[in-house]
A and B are shown apart, each in its own frame.
Chain A
Amino acid sequence: MSFNLTFIGQSIAFFVFWWFCAKYVWPLFMNIMEERRQKIADGLEAAARAQKDLELAQTKSTDQLKEAKADAAGIIDQANKRGSQIVDEAKEQAKEEGKRIIAGAQAEIEQEVNRAKEALRAQVSAIAIAGAEKILEGSIDQAANEEMLSKLSSEL
């Protein structure tokens, strides 16, 4: 249990090992730890960024969906309006067409009436002339009576 050179030897070994550890061992692991810390920090940051991106994309997509829905509603609205407009226009056109047809028919009827009147007048005047001829037995001057007859027929 006596002290001897072993004590000195151990002290020297102690300092040499300490120096070796400080120079060649400790920094290696410090660097590895630091690098890994950095790596993990980067990874976490990337994850956070991705999370934010995801949120952004979600809000964006929600907005776009809303917009699209609004657009669709607008289009449907417009289409409905356009549809009723077309129906209205068609109704209008149909009414006008009807009116036009009616007017045409009336004009034709009038024409027909006039024509019938004309024919009737001619026939009446012919009958009247024939009657007068028969009464006067040809003594009546054709030329003198013509004026009177046309007057008569226009009065009819």
Chain B
Amino acid sequence: MAELAEAAHEVAEHAAEGQTVQEYIQHHLSFLTYGSNPVDGHWGIAHTPEEAAEMGFWAIHVDTLGWSIFLGAAFLLFFRWVGQNATTDTPGGIQNFVESIFEFVEARVSEGFVHKNPYIGPLALTIFVWVLLMNTMDIIPVDWFTGAATLIGEYVFGLEHMSFKIVPTTDVNITMGMSVSIFALILYYSVKMKGLGGFLSELAFHPFGKWMLPFNLIIELPTLFAKPISLGLRLFGNLYAGELLFLLIASMLGLFQLPAHFLWAGFHLLVIPLQAFVFMMLTIVYLNAAHESHH
């Protein structure tokens, strides 16, 4: 116990004297990375951001992916538990809450998706609640988990400045992982519903007819590929910017950070559900377009 207090004191001192603002923010923006060492191929936790960067593709962000999977699983198991214990009579508080989310998503899907596909509803629900939970992690004060992880890393694993990010949607791997998966679904359903020929002719012969094929491709291909990129980067950018501002407030404002945190958290509370909603809505709209055939 005394050891821990001493450690905390040491870290606080360390932070107070040693860390510059830049170091502080850098520390908070790097990931807990597990990967293959580029020199000897040995798999392990990266000790420095530089080492993490050198690992290249063969590395995993244990923190963001871990939180992502934890939040997704927690959401699904919770919803399943509520669904199994649900009653068709007057629902209780928890059931009411879950049902209102379900009905909200269901209404968006039946408005935005006019075709028959029983998998789009679950897709929208998964995306909305999952992204919402991942975004909500941004509200947790930036130093709670990261500070604790730094302590644990230093005194349990012997890692100096162990990073630990808790907001999965501030990791471009996470947001692009989802948006590219959705892009794969767009391609899959486009080919399935329109046929490969139908899909390709949509790219090649619209909007100007077959004699303008190169121009059509110049217009249509970027439109197609912009979908996953904008989808993933929009979410990432919003949450990353929010996180960065929290870090700036925490590192530069001294005692004034408290009201500033509350103010920014208040604004950010609007961004968090909005971005989850936008991500879900665009997924629905894109997949609806993928199901449309122009015959």
> A residues engaging B (CB < 8 A)?
1-11, 13-15, 17-18, 20-22, 24-26, 28-30, 32-33, 35-36, 39
Known: A10-B178, A14-B178, A17-B76. A28 touches B86 (CB 8 A): yes
Residues from chain B with Cβ under 8 Å of A26 in the complex: 121-122, 125
**CB proximity to A under 8 Å, residues B114-135:** 118-119, 121-123, 125-126, 130
Whether B181 contacts A25 by the Cβ 8 Å rule is no
Partner of B61, one of A6, A15, A17, A24: A6
B87 to chain A, nearest CB (A): 8
Residues from chain B with Cβ under 8 Å of A24 in the complex: 76, 80
Q: Does B88 contact A (CB under 8 A)?
A: yes
Q: Does B215 contact A (CB under 8 A)?
A: no
Q: Does B159 contact A (CB under 8 A)?
A: no
Compute how far the CA of A32 lies from the CA of B95 in the bound complex, rounded to whole angstroms: 11
Whether B69 contacts A22 by the Cβ 8 Å rule is no
Whether A21 contacts B57 by the Cβ 8 Å rule is no
Chain B: which residue is nearest A26 at the CB level? B122
Q: Does B99 contact A (CB under 8 A)?
A: yes
Compute how far the CA of A2 lies from the CA of B65 in the bound complex, rounded to whole angstroms: 14
Known: A6-B64, A28-B80. A35 touches B88 (CB 8 A): yes
Whether A22 contacts B122 by the Cβ 8 Å rule is yes
Max chain A Cβ within 10 angstroms of own Cβ: one of B61, B171, B173: B173
Known: A6-B174, A28-B86. A21 touches B69 (CB 8 A): no
Whether B84 contacts A21 by the Cβ 8 Å rule is no
Q: Does B244 contact A (CB under 8 A)?
A: no
**Contacts A18-B126, A21-B122, A25-B125 known; 11 new A-B pairs at CB < 8 A:** A4-B33, A7-B173, A7-B174, A7-B177, A10-B174, A13-B68, A15-B181, A18-B123, A21-B126, A29-B99, A35-B88
Whether A20 contacts B76 by the Cβ 8 Å rule is yes
Max chain B Cβ within 10 angstroms of own Cβ: one of A6, A13, A18, A26: A6
Residues from chain B with Cβ under 8 Å of A13 in the complex: 65, 68-69, 72, 177
